[in-house]
């Protein structure tokens, strides 16, 4: 997944443009910037690449989700359904706009189970937010149907899945708003950065204002701009945007390399009867950011994760125990620990999350995910495949004894 593996002179050249004129801010200073508008230019490239009418870059993926929710007028006391397997940013963004994250069970796609989502919809529900963890997606068609039926917004958190598709559409462009992260470990990186895409003019228009203090961006004089509504500062700097421009150009190449390496590793594991693979919904194509496998049970999954490390297969994750990515370790969320006091309504809403998630535990307990890098040589991938097979076979054999 990491775009930082492909850092080169292209990024330096784009950044140099910005440093040469010294205008690090995306708006204004027109006379000084020698025609360089890196953030605006990244937005143009991004919308084109994602086949959407609009794109808005912001300062992070967390900011992207926050801005998306605000643009959809989701706020105090509204409920947003998210999976138990995600990144803490999902619920942080929801709470940032005053809404309540409602955790929902996942299935063998490792993301939202549409049937479980349907059970959680209440009159307060305003959005469903599937998170395309590790490069693959939920059954988005079923989620969209739920949104259409109940008049909800479908916000895709595609932060880990840029380059994947669903129904021949780039991931992130299928729902109402798609959110991306360009942080340091993502498939393309700006250092820190993020973006939203949408085909809805209303959302795009609100997004550019909201991420810049509510400025309407009419005319050339920032001091004379009006503020149709309140906003915040989620702007991306020109330096970060410059890096993003060069990284985005490499997206197709990055995905092709991920696919190649993923395929070699996956093919090596297909003959091991104890290994099955994460389900990718019909019409979905992964971004190949991770290879996620299921072992028959939690004991074997834990042993496999350990054995992979012992066999020198690095960057494999047992998410079930992970502090950032699985609800079991989100004590701060489950216990409503906050520096600022939550209203009674929010606290009561958050209490809903203190229950069991047997399906999530069952799937995550059996899952091991291995990061796919793009910098491996062919020989390194082959060696890795061999080590993975040896590691898994060693655990499975021990279990049979």
Closest to 189 (Cα-Cα) out of 160, 165, 164, 212: 160
Nearest residue (CB) to ligand PLP, 240 versus 304: 240
Helix extents (H) in 211-279: 238-249, 251-269
| Contact between 86 and ligand PLP per CB under 6 A | yes
The minimum distance between CB 139 and ligand PLP, in angstroms, equals 18
DSSP 33: S
Both tokens of 356, joined, read 């069991």
194 binds ligand PLP (CB under 6 A): yes
Footprint of ligand PLP on residues 304-363 (CB under 6 A)? none
Using DSSP, state whether 211 is helix, strand or coil. Answer: coil
Q: Which is nearer to ligand PLP, 291 or 385 (CB)?
A: 291
Number of H-type helices and E-type strands within the chain: 14, 14
* Dist. CA 157–CA 357, nearest whole Å: 21
Of 102-110, 152-160, 205-213, 310-318, which part binds ligand PLP (CB under 6 A)?
152-160
The CA-based angle 309-312-315, given to 5 degrees, is 60
Binding residues with ligand PLP: total (CB under 6 A):
14
Is 162 a binding residue for ligand PLP by CB under 6 A? The answer is no
If 0-12 CB within 10 Å is exposed, 13-18 middle and 19+ buried, where does residue 202 land? exposed
Residue nearest to ligand PLP (CB): 61
Q: For ligand PLP, which residue of 46, 54, 85, 87 counts as binding (CB under 6 A)?
A: 87
Q: Would you call 186 a catalytic residue per the annotation?
A: yes
Q: How many other β-carbons are positioned within 10 Å of the β-carbon of residue 271? A: 8
d(CA 12, CA 33): 17
- Give the per-residue contact string, 90-119, with ligand PLP (x = CB under 6 A; - = no): x-----------------------------
Kindly tell me which of 107 and 192 has the beta carbon lying closer to ligand PLP: 192
Q: Smallest distance, Å, CB 228 to ligand PLP?
A: 26
Smallest distance from ligand PLP to CB 170, Å = 16
- From the candidates 38, 126, 144, 186, give the one annotated as an active-site residue: 186
Give the one residue of 11, 78, 107, 183 binding ligand PLP; rule: CB under 6 A: 183
Q: Phi first, then psi: give them for residue 71, nearest 5 degrees.
A: -65, -30
Q: Which of 159, 289, 293, 364 contacts ligand PLP by CB under 6 A?
A: 159
Cβ neighbours, 10 Å, residue 332? 12
Place of tokens 């462009």: 173
Cα–Cα distance for residue pair 289/164, rounded to 1 Å: 9
Helix (H, G, I), strand (E, B) or coil at 276: strand
Binding track over 29-68 against ligand PLP, x by CB under 6 A: -------------------------------xxx------
Of 278, 169, 361, the residue nearest 156 (C-alpha): 169
- List the one residue from 71, 131, 285, 293 that touches ligand PLP (CB under 6 A): 131
3-state secondary structure of 189: coil
Contact range with ligand PLP by CB under 6 A, out of 18-26, 87-95, 347-355, 381-389 = 87-95
User: Is 181 a residue that touches ligand PLP (CB under 6 A)?
Assistant: yes
For ligand PLP, the closer of residues 295 and 330 by Cβ is 330
Q: Cβ(88)–Cβ(324) under 8 Å?
A: yes
Residue 136 binds to ligand PLP (criterion: CB under 6 A): no
Residue 368 interacting with ligand PLP (CB under 6 A): no
| Residues annotated as part of the active site | 186
Note the residues at the interface with ligand PLP (CB under 6 A): 60-62, 86-87, 89-90, 131, 157, 159-160, 181, 183, 194
């Amino acid at each position: 997944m990491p775009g930082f593996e492909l850092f080169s002179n292209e990024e330096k050249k784009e950044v140099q443009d910005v440093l040469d004129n010294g205008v690090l801010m995306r708006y204004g200073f027109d006379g000084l910037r020698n025609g360089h508008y890196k953030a605006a230019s990244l937005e143009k490239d991004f919308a084109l690449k994602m086949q959407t009418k609009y794109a808005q870059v912001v300062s992070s993926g967390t900011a992207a989700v926050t801005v998306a929710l605000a643009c959809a007028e989701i706020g105090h006391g509204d409920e947003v359904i998210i999976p138990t397997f995600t990144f803490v940013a999902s619920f942080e963004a929801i709470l940032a706009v005053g809404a309540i994250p409602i955790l929902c069970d996942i299935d063998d796609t490792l993301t939202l189970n549409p049937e479980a989502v349907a059970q959680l919809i209440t009159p307060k529900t305003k959005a469903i937010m599937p998170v395309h963890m590790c490069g693959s997606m939920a059954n988005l068609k079923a989620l969209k149907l739920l949104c259409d039926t109940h008049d909800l917004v479908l916000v895709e958190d595609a932060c880990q899945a840029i380059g994947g598709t669903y129904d021949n559409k780039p991931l992130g462009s299928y729902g109402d708003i798609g959110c991306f992260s360009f942080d340091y470990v993502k498939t393309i990186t700006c250092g820190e950065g993020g973006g939203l895409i949408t085909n809805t003019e209303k959302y795009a228009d609100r997004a550019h204002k909201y991420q810049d203090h509510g400025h309407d961006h009419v005319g050339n004089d920032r001091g004379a701009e009006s503020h149709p509504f309140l906003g915040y500062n989620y702007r991306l700097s020109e330096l970060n945007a410059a890096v993003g421009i060069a990284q985005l150009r490499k997206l197709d190449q990055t995905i092709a390399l991920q696919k190649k390496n993923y395929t070699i590793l996956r093919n090596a594991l297909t003959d091991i009867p104890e290994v099955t693979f994460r389900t990718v919904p019909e019409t979905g194509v992964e971004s190949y950011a991770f290879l996620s496998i299921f072992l028959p049970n939690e004991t074997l999954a834990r042993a496999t994760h350990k054995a992979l490390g012992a066999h020198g297969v690095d960057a494999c994750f047992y998410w079930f125990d992970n502090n950032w990515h699985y609800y079991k370790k989100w004590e701060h969320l489950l216990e409503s620990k906050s520096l600022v006091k939550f209203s009674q309504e929010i606290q009561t809403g958050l209490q809903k999350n203190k229950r069991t998630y047997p399906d999530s535990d069952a799937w995550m307990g059996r899952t091991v995910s291995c990061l796919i890098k793009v910098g491996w040589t062919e020989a390194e991938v082959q060696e890795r495949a061999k080590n993975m097979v040896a590691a898994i076979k060693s655990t499975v054999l021990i279990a049979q004894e």
